[in-house]
Structure 1
């Protein structure tokens, strides 16, 4: 794909993903690697056609010592060459033994700290939209990893191209672009980038999977079949979103509280119930990490009560309280949650 085609495609993707009525100010998460370096250059080249203001944000997680520091220096220099602001943050991890068990994986903890920094920077510097450089192969890897882990909740969703996190819209405009197209663009334009040495080791599951992708998805038709199944799932969920948008007109919502008719959820199939209620709970707890603030098991209990006409109160994870009344459901946040 030529440079002109890449720029045009990126501009189209940004326009199609951009939330309505938001300023065209974009913060780009830039590690310095080939994907994010390409995204930074392409966004700046797209210029006035789709963006009014661009900035880079880099998070130095420090896991690779001097190499991590050199990544930061590279991104800061890149921002100067592009003539855009750069916001850098550095992570000081806590001692492993002082962390909760679920946070003791250093890579997972670094990813969480990175997103916390990126979202906080976007809010503080008044950038309503954050872009990450996930591309087509990242999507394939994520889908295959999901299936390897058992294909549970959200397996077919993979990486969402647009999601709201902690008050910031996160866009992935390169999800339809191949890694090779980006590498070819960087080579043709003689644009430098950094190589993360940890991506070259077989120590991590995603790296092992990345090495196997050529064998598991050998042809374009196999790739298209994989994404076709994903698209079918997305279309199904878009139908539920339309129902949810219509239903919201009859809901009562205030900070920390939501009331809806029991009949709204009673009329939906099981997957539709899970999806719509989780979307509502995400709005109730906008700072909740991940896609789903509540997993399926607790919600199954709630739906059993719903189907049996039962009334009462359930305490859900995340400090969410569910009250089943005669005709309504009320969700609220417990004190201190």
Structure 2
């Protein structure tokens, strides 16, 4: 295995990294004071200065008030932003802090505050400084939790959240290269001690990755895996969309006012496409949030068995509820509808008749 030799990110590289957002009206840069986000601010400022026209840049620091040094770090970001000619705001997470699950709660609060700041600034995008190392850690984290193909795609270069686009322009860049960029520019940055706290998952994974890298399971290969899985995921999504249209065209029954799909046509599809369609239908009509992958897989296994037995005499009708949706198989028709309100008495859940 060859060790990565850190190289500062050049202005030419920065132009390539930020080019997709050249026509954005304004961009919020989420800068915590750590090396990744400070480097992003430095590179974005250089990129914008080299343009005759381009998006307005606004720097926002979210102070989670979890560490005594956080306020000082926010002031340091404000000072550097001013030297770069960029406006800066500090937003504070003032809610009560949970006793557990602090990283996840802090992340949710941060994104909510950043989206609010973006709307106030008239920005269409928020830039976060996730790196290739972060992507690799996300792959390992989701692999350890048994995620499917979509989950193992890890972080997308751009996603929508609260009406604002979250962009990750540094997702292909190694953290070491960003630190080398700051070292060359003689720019200081903060070090968050929680990034090495073994009580949290990501720091433990970072330690583990040192040993995994010796076997070739390093950040570049894990990030490459995420890219390849994203490519496969996009192809499977297109196939699922085509399969849904096919079922709608070939399985329609004008006598059936409730709609639904031909169960045998559904059963003829590849299992992965069946699962994606089922998840899509559950999420579309369910009222209890996205269905869990494992529960959807268990439901699909029941459906497959029930469809195979549906042509036999005395085959029972199947009724299951999941994620606030009702899935029924009756007389060769498969339907997914909003589940009826649960009765106050009784245990609810899955039923079979």
Q: Distance in 2 between matches of 1:213 and 1:9?
A: 29
Q: Distance in 1 between matches of 2:89 and 2:119?
A: 12
Q: Distance in 2 between matches of 1:334 and 1:87?
A: 47
Deviation at 1:68, TM superposition (A): 1.0
Given the superposition, is the C-alpha separation of residues 122 and 332 from structure 1 closer, same or farther in structure 2, using an over 3 Å criterion? farther
Query: What does 1:86-125 align with in structure 2 at a 5 Å threshold?
Result: 86-94=88-96, 96=98, 104-125=100-121
Match status 1:57 vs 2:55: no
Q: Distance in 1 between matches of 2:52 and 2:319?
A: 52
Match status 1:4 vs 2:5: no
Given the superposition, is the C-alpha separation of residues 267 and 114 from structure 1 closer, same or farther in structure 2, using an over 3 Å criterion? farther
Given the superposition, is the C-alpha separation of residues 191 and 50 from structure 1 closer, same or farther in structure 2, using an over 3 Å criterion? farther
Query: What does 1:154-193 align with in structure 2 at a 5 Å threshold?
Result: 154=150, 156-193=152-189
| Helix, strand or coil at the partner of 2:90 | strand
Query: What does 1:248-287 align with in structure 2 at a 5 Å threshold?
Result: 268-275=269-276, 278=279
| Helix, strand or coil at the partner of 1:114 | helix
Deviation at 1:207, TM superposition (A): 1.6
Q: Distance in 1 between matches of 2:185 and 2:212?
A: 32
Residues 313, 321 of structure 1: 8 Å contact kept = no
Deviation at 1:237, TM superposition (A): 0.7
| Helix, strand or coil at the partner of 1:213 | helix
Deviation at 1:193, TM superposition (A): 1.9
Q: Distance in 1 between matches of 2:156 and 2:282?
A: 18
Q: 1:71 aligns with which of 58, 73, 94?
A: 73
Deviation at 1:331, TM superposition (A): 5.2
Residues 133, 219 of structure 2: 8 Å contact kept = no
Match status 1:237 vs 2:251: no
Aligned to 2:350: none
Unaligned runs of 5+ in 2: 1-6, 249-258, 311-316, 342-353
Deviation at 1:142, TM superposition (A): 2.0
Q: Distance in 1 between matches of 2:224 and 2:296?
A: 29
Q: Distance in 2 between matches of 1:55 and 1:248?
A: 43
Q: 1:146 aligns with which of 142, 149, 153?
A: 142
Q: Distance in 2 between matches of 1:117 and 1:297?
A: 32
Aligned to 1:101: none
Q: 1:295 aligns with which of 283, 292, 295?
A: 292
Q: Deviations over 1:197-229 (max 9, x none)?
A: 222444433223323423321487855543443
Aligned to 2:43: 42
Unaligned runs of 5+ in 1: 98-103, 253-258
Q: 2:322 aligns with which of 316, 323, 333?
A: 316
| Helix, strand or coil at the partner of 1:198 | helix
| Helix, strand or coil at the partner of 2:273 | helix
Q: Distance in 1 between matches of 2:141 and 2:163?
A: 28
Q: Deviations over 1:255-295 (max 9, x none)?
A: xxxx985679656433334445556766779x96xxxx221
Matched pairs, number: 309
- Normalised TM-score (structure 1): 0.74
RMSD: 3.8
Moved more, 86-95 or 27-36: 86-95
Given the superposition, is the C-alpha separation of residues 299 and 180 from structure 1 closer, same or farther in structure 2, using an over 3 Å criterion? same
Deviation at 1:93, TM superposition (A): 3.7
Given the superposition, is the C-alpha separation of residues 181 and 164 from structure 1 closer, same or farther in structure 2, using an over 3 Å criterion? same
Q: Deviations over 1:13-57 (max 9, x none)?
A: x35xx9xxx844322221111101111121222224894222222
Residues 26, 56 of structure 2: 8 Å contact kept = yes
Query: What does 1:130-141 align with in structure 2 at a 5 Å threshold?
Result: 130-141=126-137
